[in-house]
Every structure is written in C-alpha cells, then in structure tokens.
C-alpha cells in the first residue's frame, strides 16, 4: 500500500490521466478523490460516473450532453458529465464495463478534449482531468476483443494498482481506524448526542489483540468495504451481547473463528441479552467479591439490570452486604 500511496502522491501533482486498478472494495474512489483534492484543481467539481450503470442508449448524451429536442424526452439542454467536470475531475468508475461500441466516443473526447452534444452542430472544448478505475485486467480485455487497444493506451498514462486487503501490511492499523470511525459514527447520531455513557457500558476502547487476530483469519473478498461493514455491525451489536466471532461466522458462513461449528446465534435474535443463569450470577459475584460494576461488566449486562436481578431473586444477605 505504501507504493500505491507514493504513486498517488506523485500523480496528484500533475493533471496526468490516472488509471486506478484493484479489486472491488479496495478504495478506488477514495484514491480518485484524493487525486482531486491534492491536485491542481481542488476547487473544481468532482464528477463520478459508474460506467456500468449507464443505459447503452444514453451513454452518448450522458457523456457529451444533448440539445433540447434532439430526441424524445430531451425537453431541455443537457450539458453531460464531461462538461459538468469543467475545471475539475471526471472520475469514470468501472471503465471496463463501458460497451465496446461506445468506447470510440470516449476516445474522441479524450483526443480532442471537446464534446459534441447530441443535436449540436459544433464541438465544445472542455478542460478537465480524467481519472478512471476498474476491477478488470484491461490488458486481458484488449486481448479478448472487449476493450479498444487505442483507448487503453490513452487511459493507461499513469497506472496505480491498489492491493487487496489480504495483501496489505497495515491491516491492524486500518482495522483500528475503521473501528474508531464506526464508534464515532454511533456516538454522533442524534439519539446519542450529549448523552453520558450508559451505566455499566464498556468504554470506547480500541479493538483488542484477540479481535484483530480473529479479523486476520479471513481473506476479505469484499476488501475494505466488507471490513468496514462488519465493524459497523459489530459496533451496533456488541452492546447486545453479540460477539465478533458470531458476526464473522454470519458474514463468511464458516465455523466461528476456529471454534465449535454452529449457526450464528444472533440470526433472528431479539438483540436483547438474555439474563444469565442465577448460579452464574452468584459465582460471578463471589469472584468479584460483591462488586456490582465488575460483575455486571463480566456478565455483559448493565448494573441496573443486575440490581433488578438481585432484588427479584432475593439473594442472601452476604451478597447485599458485600455489594458496592
């Protein structure tokens, strides 16, 4: 990842066309936005387009725009995404999904640095920086006849390969960063703003070495996006007694972190921690010499819940006397 970051830093200093390659979820759009912010046009627009999501019959007008009345439904002039990126950056994501018959249109735009809106009679010059991204091997696509070779050479001016998450040496650092962001996101919700931590709740600690080791067990085919989703889910479910192993078992449908093979217990659960067995509560109270805060934390319940359980079951006087 250090090599990729170095290349992005170098490319950002110019307006050269950059081709970002990597598996889905490796952060290609994040890299593109960095190039825009750190480049010579940070004040201009950043226009992101998913080439795989454009209808074939609308590619021409989406890229170059259209004059009013040029086709049925064109009730007003359309500037197109290329002109919308004037003075800024045009980010064409999933460029490998652009239909072959439409690639010549993009090639002409790049060669002339101008667009010809549908229904127009003259071209319009445009000044923009191009950044493309793909999860495909475009060299193989060229050999297979699915991607134009001349367009490939236009786009491949400055290639940057983003490594998959499983190949990165900074996995632990990245996981901690995503975990902090997930916790901060939960704390920043309107329902939690200005609220003190719940009595008996765990402090906002970092991921433990054990949790990091468990995350490392998986190959993460969805890369950073998948890891981020799992950590966000864990943030919300951890207070309800759901463990990281259970979440990973659900995500990957494999035995939980090398432990007993059984179905994730939180599937269809009510997300309320069931009260522990009374004997377990007794043993835990004895272990912590009657300290309710430590007992509640060990049992995964709030201290007020523990008070209610003690009162409901009328434990012996020794426990009440020892309780703090």
Tens of pLDDT, residue by residue over 77-92, are: 889 999 999 999 999 9
Q: In angstroms, what CA-CA distances link 160 with 11, 29, 110, 273? A: 9, 13, 20, 47
Q: Strand 89-93 to strand 129-134: parallel, antiparallel, or no bridges (unpaired)?
A: parallel
Task: Please state the φ and ψ torsions of residue 137, each to the nearest 5 degrees.
Answer: -90, 100
pLDDT band at 221 (very low <50, low <70, confident <90, very high): very high
DSSP assigned state of 66 = B
Tell me the average pLDDT across 212-233: 93
pLDDT digits (tens, 9 = 90+) for 268-297: 444 444 566 777 888 888 888 888 888 887
Mean pLDDT of 138-144: 96
The CA-atom distances, in angstroms, between 185 and each of 29, 178, 249 are 21, 10, 24
Kindly report which listed range (24-28, 43-47, 104-108, 310-314) carries the lowest average pLDDT score. Answer: 310-314
Is the per-residue pLDDT at 198 higher than 70? no
Output 278 or 249, whichever has higher pLDDT.
249
Beta bridge partners of 133: 20
Strand 124-125, strand 114-115: pairing: antiparallel
Residue 298, Cβ density class (10 Å: 0-12 exposed, 13-18 middle, ≥19 buried): middle
- Angstrom distance (rounded) from CA 203 to CA 285: 21
Q: What is the pLDDT of residue 313?
A: 73
């Amino acid at each position: 990842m250090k090599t990729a970051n170095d290349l992005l830093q170098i490319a950002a200093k110019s307006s050269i066309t950059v081709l970002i390659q990597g598996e889905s979820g490796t952060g290609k759009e994040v890299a593109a936005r960095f190039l825009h912010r750190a480049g010579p046009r940070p004040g201009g627009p950043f226009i992101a387009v998913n080439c795989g999501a454009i209808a074939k019959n609308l590619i021409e007008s989406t890229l170059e725009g259209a004059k009013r009345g040029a086709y049925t439904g064109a009730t007003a002039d359309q500037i197109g995404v290329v002109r919308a990126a004037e003075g800024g950056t045009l980010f064409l994501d999933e460029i490998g999904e652009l239909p072959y018959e439409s690639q010549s249109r993009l090639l002409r735009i790049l060669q002339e640095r101008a667009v010809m809106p549908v229904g127009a009679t003259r071209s319009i010059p445009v000044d923009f920086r191009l950044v493309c991204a793909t999860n495909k091997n475009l060299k193989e696509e060229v050999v297979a006849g699915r991607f134009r070779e001349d367009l490939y050479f236009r786009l491949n001016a400055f290639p940057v390969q983003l490594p998959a998450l499983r190949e990165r040496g900074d996995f632990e650092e990245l996981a901690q960063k995503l975990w902090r962001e997930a916790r901060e996101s939960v704390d920043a919700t309107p329902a939690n703003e200005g609220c003190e931590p719940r009595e008996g709740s765990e402090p906002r600690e970092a991921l433990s070495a054990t949790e990091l080791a468990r995350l490392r067990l998986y190959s993460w085919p969805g890369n950073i996006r998948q890891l981020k989703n799992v950590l966000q889910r864990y943030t919300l479910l951890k207070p309800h007694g759901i463990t990281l192993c259970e979440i990973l078992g659900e995500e990957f449908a494999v035995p939980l972190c090398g432990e007993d093979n059984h179905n994730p217990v939180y599937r269809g659960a009510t997300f309320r921690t069931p009260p522990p067995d009374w004997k377990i509560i007794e043993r835990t109270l004895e272990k912590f010499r009657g300290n309710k805060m430590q007992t509640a934390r060990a049992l995964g319940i709030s201290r007020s819940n523990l008070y209610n359980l003690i009162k409901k079951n009328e434990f012996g006087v020794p426990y009440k006397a020892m309780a703090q």
